[in-house]
Amino acid sequence: MPAPQHPPRPQTARPAASAASPASAASPASKGARRTRRPAERQPSLDDPRIMLDRQISSDLYEPIPPYPTRTEREAEFYTLGDGEMFLNVGPHHPATHGVLRLVLKLSGEQIVDVDPVLGYLHRGVEKICENSDYYHVIDQVDPLEYLSSLFQEWPAVLSFEKLMDVEVPRRAEYIRVLSGELLRISSHILYMGFLALDLGGLTPILYGFIERDEIVEMLAALTGARMLFNYFRIGGVNGDLNHEFMSRLGDWMSRAGRQTEANAGLLNENEIFVRRMRGVGTLDRATALSYGVTGGNLRASGVPFDVRRAHPYSIYPELEFNIPTRDEGDSLARYLIRVDEIRESLKIIDQCLHNMPDGPVMAKLPRLLRPRPGRAWGAVEGPRGMLGVYAISDGSDQPFRFRIHDPSFVNLETVTTLLPGHLLADTMAVVASLDPVMGGIDK
């Protein structure tokens, strides 16, 4: 059925429009006549948004990107199209850009010539917010940054504050931190595997991964009270001891975790299409990785055995036995396989934590209001995506004077400008997903 036509409105409602249409202004018609006549609004009015859009599109078919004049030499070079090239705006609302990443690709056919990552769609000014909150409140401000592994974002913050205040953390609290952190690392890596497959078109691994991830999240909810933004670590310990539900869920899951990991990894490792899509794509060589400051699994996939847990030991990691898996290829497949190996190592660490868990308190005794002496401290931990660091400066007040967050995803994502050119459009998703960016941390 055709949509009902609206009756024509009286022209007096819009003086500008009636002035633009002399026909209706010249003949003030009676009520009966107006019903039969063609509506006067059909005449083009310049403030009609549709007409404005039409004029814009017909005058210059493709809207220039960026809409402002270029500001730097690099921008001018990037936004000048060569012969047969076009821009493709991937994101910020694209199904495979892991949040609100926007990549402006310069394409020649389907081949990527150049890429300009545009960030900041999720910027909330968390560093400034932290500088205006007291030391206890910083922890829940930094939580949503690395939203897939938020304990790892709390950890460097409390680490730097503990250094500022010379707090001794109880050993049981350190064990609980490592235990919950490694669980969360596994959960993050499982999601990584699933989303990588999803970006390459595989539907199933993400759903199998979510089963494991949900089990981990449920047990962490039993421990911390939240499923995603835990707000669990405290300056001088953790908020709450291990409880029965957590331990029983953990034991239940650990009995099948290794087997299930191998099964989930086997879905992808032995898939010929997946391996061919990943091998040799987005190869990050050792020198480039080091010059960019890439950390974490992405750096270890390029052959540099750098892991904060071993290079700058913190917590109880010196007492634990685990390997640092490295690979020499540096391509997307190596980055993926490093993550699978890290899941196995994390399972080993969890086992050791459970066997060596000491008794004792889980919080140090601290005053209600923290006023550390003036000074500066750097706390860094190895997160699932690389080195998460916090540089905190105290001026003696109850708020940090400066709170600088170093995020590994930001540094890792920078490399797409060197990794992508020369590849095809479909490789964008493989490379970006294999770098594992989390936009919450990148845009801060």
- Our measurement of the distance from residue 129's CA atom to the centroid of its chain's CA atoms, rounded to an integer in Å, reads 19
The backbone torsions φ and ψ at residue 160, rounded to the nearest 5 degrees and listed phi first, read -70, -40
Q: What share of the chain is helix, strand, coil (3-state, %, to 5)?
A: 50, 10, 40
Of 29 and 275, the one with the shorter C-beta distance to other proteins is: 275
- Which residue among 12, 132, 204, 248 contacts other proteins (CB under 8 A)? 204
Token pair belonging to 53: 């859009």
Write out the binding residues for other proteins, residues 266-305 only, by CB under 8 A.
Answer: 271, 273-274, 276-277
Q: Is 207 in the site for other proteins (CB under 8 A)?
A: yes
CB atoms within 10 A of CB 130: 24
DSSP 8-state code for residue 280: T
Q: Is 137 in the site for other proteins (CB under 8 A)?
A: no
Token pair belonging to 138: 């910083």
Q: Is 215 in the site for other proteins (CB under 8 A)?
A: no
DSSP 8-state code for residue 98: T
Each residue 397-426 as x (binds other proteins by CB under 8 A) or -, in order, gives ---------------------------xxx
**Cβ contacts of residue 439 below 8 Å, gap of 6+?**
98, 99, 100, 101, 121, 122, 409
Of 280 and 293, the one with the shorter C-beta distance to other proteins is: 280
- Which residue among 116, 143, 162, 199 contacts other proteins (CB under 8 A)? 199
The least CB distance from residue 199 to other proteins, in Å, is 5
The least CB distance from residue 275 to other proteins, in Å, is 10
Tell me how far CA of residue 218 lies from CA of 61, 137, 264, in angstroms: 52, 25, 20
The least CB distance from residue 100 to other proteins, in Å, is 15
**Cβ contacts of residue 307 below 8 Å, gap of 6+?**
300, 324, 382
The least CB distance from residue 200 to other proteins, in Å, is 4
Q: Is 259 in the site for other proteins (CB under 8 A)?
A: no
SS3 of residue 344 by DSSP: helix
- Which residue among 203, 287, 367, 368 contacts other proteins (CB under 8 A)? 203
3-state secondary structure 387-432: EEEEEEEECCCCCEEEEEEECHHHHHHHCHHHHCCCCEHHHHHHHH
Residues that bind other proteins (rule: CB under 8 A) add up to a total of 33
Of 316 and 420, the one with the shorter C-beta distance to other proteins is: 420
Of 117 and 194, the one with the shorter C-beta distance to other proteins is: 194
- Which residue among 14, 34, 94, 348 contacts other proteins (CB under 8 A)? 94
Of 56 and 397, the one with the shorter C-beta distance to other proteins is: 56
**Cβ contacts of residue 195 below 8 Å, gap of 6+?**
98, 206, 433
Write out the binding residues for other proteins, residues 165-194 only, by CB under 8 A.
Answer: none
The least CB distance from residue 273 to other proteins, in Å, is 5
Of 6 and 368, the one with the shorter C-beta distance to other proteins is: 6
Nearest to 410 by CA among 219, 146, 204, 52: 146
- Which residue among 211, 228, 290, 311 contacts other proteins (CB under 8 A)? 211
The least CB distance from residue 309 to other proteins, in Å, is 33
Write out the binding residues for other proteins, residues 10-69 only, by CB under 8 A.
Answer: 50, 53-54, 57
C-alpha to C-alpha distance for 381 and 308, rounded to whole angstroms: 6
Of 200 and 353, the one with the shorter C-beta distance to other proteins is: 200
- Which residue among 307, 342, 427, 443 contacts other proteins (CB under 8 A)? 427
**Cβ contacts of residue 361 below 8 Å, gap of 6+?**
170, 172, 173, 237
Write out the binding residues for other proteins, residues 96-115 only, by CB under 8 A.
Answer: 96, 110
Each residue 330-359 as x (binds other proteins by CB under 8 A) or -, in order, gives ------------------------------
C-alpha to C-alpha distance for 377 and 68, rounded to whole angstroms: 41
Q: Work out whether strand 111-118 and strand 233-234 pair parallel, antiparallel, or are unpaired.
A: unpaired
Nearest to 411 by CA among 308, 302, 291: 291
Per the CB < 8 A criterion, the answer to whether 176 and 242 are in contact is yes
Tell me how far CA of residue 208 lies from CA of 104, 115, 297, in angstroms: 33, 33, 23
Of 53 and 290, the one with the shorter C-beta distance to other proteins is: 53
- Which residue among 95, 318, 359, 367 contacts other proteins (CB under 8 A)? 95
Q: CB under 8 A: which stretch of 31-39, 89-97, 298-306, 435-443 binds other proteins?
A: 89-97
The least CB distance from residue 433 to other proteins, in Å, is 9
Helix (H) or strand (E) holding 363: none
Residues that bind other proteins (CB under 8 A): 50, 53-54, 57, 86, 88-89, 94-96, 110, 197-204, 207-208, 211, 271, 273-274, 276-277, 424-429
